[in-house]
Amino acid sequence: MLIEHLADGYSLDEFLDTVPTLDRSQARQFIELSGEQMNECASSLTSA
């Protein structure tokens, strides 16, 4: 849900306004972990 929201051009603040149970640090941690996963996936594809 967060990734789709950001991909549609909305800001993190706009997303957080729609999900009051999620705080900024949790969202940032999710974004960081997602980026690490994408990097690992890309690395595995290029080394195959």
- The tokens describing 24, both together, are 């900024």
The model's confidence at residue 24, banded by pLDDT at 50, 70 and 90, is very high
Is residue 2 within 8 A of residue 15, CB to CB? The reply is yes
Q: What average pLDDT does range 35-46 have in this prediction? A: 90
Residue 48 has a pLDDT of 62
**What average pLDDT does the segment 7-34 reach?**
95
Location of structure tokens 């800001």: 11
pTM: 0.75
Average pLDDT over residues 6-11: 95
User: Quick one: pLDDT at residue 46?
Assistant: 85
Q: Give the angle 17-11-16 at the CA atoms, nearest 5°.
A: 20
The pLDDT > 70 percentage for the chain reads 98
16 touches 26 (CB < 8 A):
no
